[in-house]
Amino acid sequence: MAENERKKVILSGIQPTGVFTLGNYVGAIRNWDTLQEEFDCIYFIADQHAITVRKDPVKFRQQTVESYALTLACGIDPKRSIAFIQSHNPNHSQLSWILGCVTQFGELSRMTQFKDKAAKHADDINAGLFTYPVLMAADILTYNADVVPIGDDQRQHLELARNIAVRFNQRYGDMFTVPEGYYPKVGARIKSLQEPTKKMSKSDDNPNATVFILDDKDTIMRKFKRAVTDSDSEIRFAEGKDGINNLLTIYSCATGKTIEEAEREFAGKGYGEFKLAVGEAVADYLEPVRTKFAQLMDDKAYLKECWTDGAQRAFRLSNKVFTKACRKIGFVDYR
């Protein structure tokens, strides 16, 4: 990169909805540290998005703190990146109102996630559930983020943010960067330990199906001992051997060995021995995250110092954009 060439800004929000799974970690989260080399990174805990569904306040507050600590434990450096809690920066919600006034009702009505969530929470179809894609657009545009990491379920929301940016720019003059989607190289797809044709999910009803990155070693070993395999006896990657294929993939990710190397290592060995070895490898692989998370949760003063500094940096950066947007639409300056 040339000396005078700026890094692109990448922004990502994480809802405080619980602990990441092994699948989340392998698929995307372990790449966070690398992204900090390539981009100017902004990470936030999306607590304002989370309240579209009713929360127990005490549990919600704890989950927010834990989620912030977990992002740091997984590799986010609060000195190299901006890491904060969404509600600590009022520019997100204030810009959301402005952007809501250039967003069409029909655009929000077409959001498939609103339809899905409204069906799931039929007793609480609130206005926030309907308008949160506008807040998401504000999250992105208030930093003039160049790129936003998204999954398939967020493509529609990013497209709305792009449309809002273009419409605002056309009405009031160039203002917002039109963000692009960032589609990281897909990591290995980790499957359920109990139904290896399905992806590993934090919402799985079967407690033995999912490994969470904060599970202790005994819990991890128990889950792998109970992992579904097949009636064959050979440890090889092949069609129809979904359980063994999944375990080989997990072992490869945890050790850095190739599938072929793993097959050779366990040639002639039984499934029981293999499952124990995978469990041991995963426990060792996740141990640094568990240790770092425990240290952070024991030092709430440091966590608060980090999110306070992050919020102040986020506010300074976003306030330039927000203030300019206010002037563009004709609000009177008050200072």
Query: Is 117 an active-site residue?
Result: yes
Q: Which of 55, 199, 257, 328 is catalytic?
A: 199
For residues 147 and 182, the answer to whether their CB atoms sit within 8 Å is yes
**Distance between CA 227 and CA 220 in Å, rounded?**
11
Cα distances (angstroms) measured from residue 275 to each of 79, 192, 250: 40, 14, 11
Residue type, 304: K
Which residues lie below 8 Å from residue 36, measured CB to CB, with a gap of 6+? Answer: 75, 76, 77, 80, 81
Q: Give which of 82, 14, 79, 39 is closest to 318, Cα–Cα.
A: 82
> What ranges in the chain are assigned the alpha helix state H?
22-27, 32-38, 47-50, 57-73, 91-100, 105-109, 112-120, 127-141, 155-172, 217-225, 242-255, 259-265, 271-297, 300-329
Residue type, 234: E
Q: Which of 7, 115, 198, 202 is catalytic?
A: 202
**Distance between CA 287 and CA 279 in Å, rounded?**
12
CB-based burial, 180-219: b 16+ in 10 Å, e otherwise:
eebeeeebeebbbbbbbeeebbeebeeebbbbbbbbeeeb
Sheet-wide strand order for 9-14: 82-85, 40-45, 9-14, 147-149, 180-182
Q: Give which of 274, 286, 282 is closest to 243, Cα–Cα.
A: 274
3-state SS class at 163:
helix
Query: Is 79 an active-site residue?
Result: no
Query: Is 115 an active-site residue?
Result: no
Tokens of 65: 């703190």
Residue 268 backbone class (left: φ over 0; alpha: ψ -120 to 50; beta: rest): left
Residues marked active site are found at: 117, 199, 202
